[in-house]
Amino acid sequence: MSLDQPDADVAYRTAARHDYRRQEAVDTTTETMPAPARHGANGTFTLEDLERDADELRRKWGLDDDRPLPNGSAYQHARAAWLATDDIVEYDDKEYRVLSRDFEHPHDDEDGRFAVTLVSSPWRAGREIGGEYRAFYKYDLTLRPVDDDGAIRWGSTPDRSFSVKIRPQREDLIQKDGSSFDIPYSEGSFLTVQATWLEDITEAIALATKFLGGALGYQLKVDDICQDSARFTKAEVHQRIERVKEQHVVQTIRQSADLLAAHEADLDTRGKYEDGKWMECWLQTDAWEKLGFPALDAQLSIKVYYPDHPEKLEYPMDQPKVEVALEGKERVYDEEQNQRVRRAIPMNRWNEVMAVLEEVLLTHLSWADVREDHLVADDYSDGPDAPPIAFQKPEGRREWLQRHYESLVPPLYRQATSHRTDLVYDILAALRDAPDDAAGMTYDQLVEQTGAAYRTVRKHVRRLCEAGPARGPGILERERGAVTLVSWSSRFLEELGQDVLDEINPGDQPEDRRDRAEERRERREQRQADQEDVDRAESVAAGEDESTGGDAGDGSSTWRYFGDVDLRPDQLARALDQEYLDHDEVRVRVDNSPLFATGPPG
């Protein structure tokens, strides 16, 4: 591994860059970029506070001795607040207690007044009382913005969001089925603190101390924290970038997904396509070491996203963000269980994890040729003006990508020269000829370009997406969002594909493809008309009213109303989205429906 020395004036915000485990033969070079902003975080810890006095708690909340409050723990403070508060609001099918409508933000530098709400719900553990199982409750306290007139903005969160969840921790807890419930650390109150814009996870403890003191009158003592329980499950870093670089970063993330798939890593890619552009790109995996990054056995994600309704925002808040986040727990070896288990990461490893997140983020920005002048500052991020930090950038990506995409050329030749149909060639040619600023084509656009049936186009696209190395990306890629978008699996392969198509059919012209499309369209319409004549004759012979639909064009099919089949709406949507059902296997009535303003076809 090569370690170039950074300039002496480069700030190391994490105090030290840690000695990470990387795969062998991974070379790195040192680069510097402005430090990304540290965004959201979730910290967890157990307070060993069951010895607190309950009498003081009763006096504080004006509760009589008949209330079963066994101690003065944080959990019992939340319970007392729930019992004593009479400012009750129904929202989104839940009942909330409003503890305050004039609350100071726990961040000292955050202006304005806020509300604190409390909601309870049955927890997954309880006790047996009088021979019956009774669930304990969990309590969620949330900071919410208020309007000038004091009205709570229930659907919004402050720019610096903050919430605390409190769960009971007792040795005598059981599950609903009567089996024992194991608490991970010690008895007391288990807290989950969610906050944004934290430089260090230990700030979550300080903020929780101030928040619980003001909202519940509970004095959090650091000495009560079970040290082994002080952990975190969420951490985020991001940079806001100029919109002009969005597609470059999206393409870079897609290339990372391709390489991870080729390495047989477990990954989750998601996308959202609207108005002819990518609105979000998301890659999540626990195998980042396959790309040369430090080995952190936890799920990390990288995404490009916009805020809600960017068209309503002004610069710079309407510009996209690139974010890398820790998503949950790491996998560690448990000696007692003799197996690997998932556990939250200790708070004392915060800087270690943040350095990995920063390296993944800044390396992807570097790969996408995002320079300092492409970064954007906002109210909570200094953007290009942030102090520079050094990071180790894995080398060899260009060679990895070239080897991977060149391995797809033979399957591309086989698919495009199929002796059975020239439709595959025409689908690839349509994608080749798409406008440069298009992120791909929809199925409807491919149907229009090729003249083939929707079902047939989708069948060939699926085959092209599956062509290539096992578990790796294929020749094409489908990204599902508001519509399914079909594109080449990489820009590199798109360039190779252009050469392949020119070699296969060098004399082919756009008018030739239009003629083939028109021929397919005429053949399809003739087959459809012939089938309708047959269906109509069979319906008349069977004495069937044509308006009921009969067998919908297939004498061997059985059709039923949606309400008569054992299928939920979400299952139907998933079946269509994942292509378990073809679109011509589902019928929708379009007359007299506000969903279809144009009415029935024809």
DSSP designation for 395: P
- Reading the block at residue 100, the tokens are 């305050």
pLDDT score, position 190: 97
Please, which residues bridge with residue 192 across strands? 44, 165
Q: Which residue type sits at 3? A: L
Residue 312 clears pLDDT 70, i.e. is over it: yes
In terms of phi and psi (left: phi > 0; alpha: psi -120 to 50; beta: otherwise), the region of 41 is beta
Q: How far apart are CA 200 and CA 309, in angstroms?
A: 30
Q: How large is the average pLDDT for residues 496-508? A: 82
pLDDT score, position 448: 93
pLDDT score, position 503: 83
pLDDT score, position 415: 77
**Strand 339-343 relative to strand 345-346: parallel, antiparallel, unpaired?**
unpaired
pLDDT score, position 74: 97
Q: How large is the average pLDDT for residues 320-326? A: 94
Per-residue pLDDT band for 596 (boundaries 50, 70, 90) equals low
Residue 546 clears pLDDT 70, i.e. is over it: no
| Other beta carbons within 10 Å of 582 | 13
Residue 554 clears pLDDT 50, i.e. is over it: no
- Reported as type and span, the H/E element at residue 570 is helix 569-577
Nearest residue to 45 (alpha-carbon basis) of 206, 284, 241: 206
Residue 306 clears pLDDT 90, i.e. is over it: no
Q: How large is the average pLDDT for residues 410-427? A: 80
Cα dihedral 196→199→201→204 (10° resolution): -50
pLDDT score, position 322: 95
Using one digit for the tens of pLDDT, what is the confidence trace for 369-387?
999 999 999 888 899 999 9
- The share of the chain scoring above pLDDT 90, in percent, equals 45
pLDDT score, position 46: 97
pLDDT score, position 338: 77
Q: How large is the average pLDDT for residues 100-107? A: 94
Residue 545 clears pLDDT 90, i.e. is over it: no
Residue 440 clears pLDDT 90, i.e. is over it: no
pLDDT score, position 399: 75
Q: How far apart are CA 418 and CA 402, in angstroms?
A: 25
Distances, alpha carbon 160 to alpha carbons 107, 110, 194, 235, 386, in Å: 8, 8, 10, 15, 20
pLDDT score, position 64: 80
DSSP labels, 210-238 = HHHHHHH-----GGGB-GGG-EEEEEEEE
- The share of the chain scoring above pLDDT 70, in percent, equals 80
Residue ranges of alpha helices (H) inside 315-422 are 350-367, 397-406, 409-416
Per-residue pLDDT band for 171 (boundaries 50, 70, 90) equals very high
Residues whose CB falls within 8 Å of the CB of residue 537, separated by 6 or more in sequence, listed in order: none
pLDDT score, position 600: 39
Where b means 16+ CB within 10 Å and e means fewer, 550-576 reads: beeeeeeeeeeeeeeeeeeeeeeeeee
Residue 6 clears pLDDT 50, i.e. is over it: no
pLDDT score, position 408: 72
Whole-number CA gyration radius for the chain: 30
pLDDT score, position 265: 55
Higher pLDDT, 567 or 53: 53
pLDDT score, position 551: 47
Q: How far apart are CA 325 and CA 235, in angstroms?
A: 6
Contact between 355 and 18 (Cβ < 8 Å): yes
pTM over 0.75: no
pLDDT score, position 255: 81
Residue 483 clears pLDDT 80, i.e. is over it: no
Using one digit for the tens of pLDDT, what is the confidence trace for 173-202?
999 999 999 999 999 999 999 999 999 999
152 three-class SS: strand
Residue 225 clears pLDDT 50, i.e. is over it: yes
Per-residue pLDDT band for 599 (boundaries 50, 70, 90) equals very low
Higher pLDDT, 37 or 455: 37
**Count H helices, E strands: the chain?**
13, 20
| Other beta carbons within 10 Å of 524 | 15
Q: Indicate the average pLDDT of the chain.
A: 83
pLDDT score, position 577: 62
Burial class (CB in 10 A: 0-12, 13-18, 19+), 27: middle
Contact between 47 and 250 (Cβ < 8 Å): no
Per-residue pLDDT band for 417 (boundaries 50, 70, 90) equals confident
pLDDT score, position 455: 87
Q: How large is the average pLDDT for residues 272-284? A: 61
